[in-house]
Amino acid sequence: MPMLRPAVRPAVCLLGILSLVLTYGCNSPTKDDPAPSPSEPSAKPAASAAATPAAAKPKPAKKPLGAAPEVGTERTVEKSTTTKVRTLYQGRDVVIGNETSETTSEKVLAVEEGAIHKLRVTYDSASRVRTMGGSDQKAPSVIAGKTYIVERDGSKVIVTDKDGKPVSDDESKEVAKDYSGIGKADPLLGAVPKRKLTEGEPVAEVEEALKRFFIDLGDDKNEVTVKKVTAKLTGTTESDHIFAVTVSMQMKSPRQAFIAELKGEFHSRKADNWPSNVEVEGPVDVKIAGNAGVSQGSMKIRLAIRY
């Protein structure tokens, strides 16, 4: 299987990426004084009078940490999910896998109430590969290499081509699913609290943000329940805070249910408290409708954002 709901989720989300293996946000310049009347020559300043210093220009307000990206912000989002499960299929012991990956280039076109409401999105790459018993099948993509305008309009996500013209139903559905979180607050923006943090400390605010992030991976066919999330500050780099993360989650659909125990890292940028990386992986137990017992497998989720 989080990454910038972007988002992404940072206006970016992993919705549409998380598919199970069997489911084929001075003074106003005053006017110049009137010229003196000819009968009243202008007064000359005394020779000893010091020149009046020019008024200092006020500094622009500092952007609050965790604020939504401004209009014009550009970023590249990479997201991927890899799932492999060993199970019985038609009486045979087989490995079933699903690997989905996308790289998109985004430009923010509108921000409202702290959330991204409109984006220009180019799918630099988009692929889905299914594995069944050692045989790989690459599904064709209807969105790879194309550019779209994605916008929140009330309860709907509107998708058009780069010129604002309608696109096919297949394209619209796939892009709208990817960006179902547009127009909604990104839980990972501003996740790191302003207080001083100690290395090794569990950070409740980050845990709650990640919990919301993983819950948002679900959709109308797959219900996600997050049982527990932990997030501890493990260190920093020149640019990022780094948190060690564990996630215990469950997903249910009409055909199957699974429990995943994932571990990994979450990175948040120091400069603006924007997410830059979520990467978790670990074992999964899968219960498939019609199959006795539980199948075992693994899952890996990655979301990386470059601004």
| pTM tops 0.85, yes or no | no
Helical spans, DSSP H, in 92-219: 169-178, 204-215
Q: Is residue 150 part of a domain?
A: yes
Q: Is residue 244 part of a domain?
A: yes
- Cβ neighbors of 186 (< 8 A, separation 6 or more) are 4, 5, 6, 7, 8, 9, 10, 11, 12, 25, 68, 115, 116, 275
Mind listing the pLDDT tens digit for each residue in 167-215? Answer: 999 999 999 999 999 999 999 999 999 999 999 999 999 999 999 999 9
Q: Which helix (H) or strand (E) holds 96?
A: strand 92-112
pLDDT for 56 equals 53
Q: Is residue 163 part of a domain?
A: yes
Mean pLDDT of all residues in 150-177: 97
Q: Is residue 86 part of a domain?
A: yes
Whose CA is closest to 275, among 195, 203, 196, 187? 187
Whether 59 has a pLDDT exceeding 80, the answer reads no
- Cβ neighbors of 78 (< 8 A, separation 6 or more) are 101, 102, 103, 302, 303, 304, 305
Whether 17 has a pLDDT exceeding 70, the answer reads no
Mean pLDDT of all residues in 15-30: 37
Q: Is residue 34 part of a domain?
A: no
Structure tokens at 54: 């020019």
Instruction: Provide φ and ψ at 173, rounded to 5°.
Output: -65, -45
Grouping H, G, I as helix, E, B as strand and the rest as coil, residue 226 is strand
Residue 155 buriedness (CB in 10 A; 0-12 / 13-18 / 19+): exposed
Instruction: Provide φ and ψ at 74, rounded to 5°.
Output: -115, 145
Whether 143 has a pLDDT exceeding 60, the answer reads yes
What is the 3-state composition of the chain as percent helix, strand, coil, each rounded to the nearest 5?
Answer: 5, 45, 45
Q: Is residue 170 part of a domain?
A: yes
Whether 269 has a pLDDT exceeding 80, the answer reads yes
Residue 104's CATH number: 2.30.230
Q: Is residue 177 part of a domain?
A: yes
Q: Is residue 48 part of a domain?
A: no
Number of domains into which the chain is organized: 1
Least confident of 114-118, 136-140, 182-186, 219-223: 219-223
> What is the span of the domain harbouring residue 108?
74-306
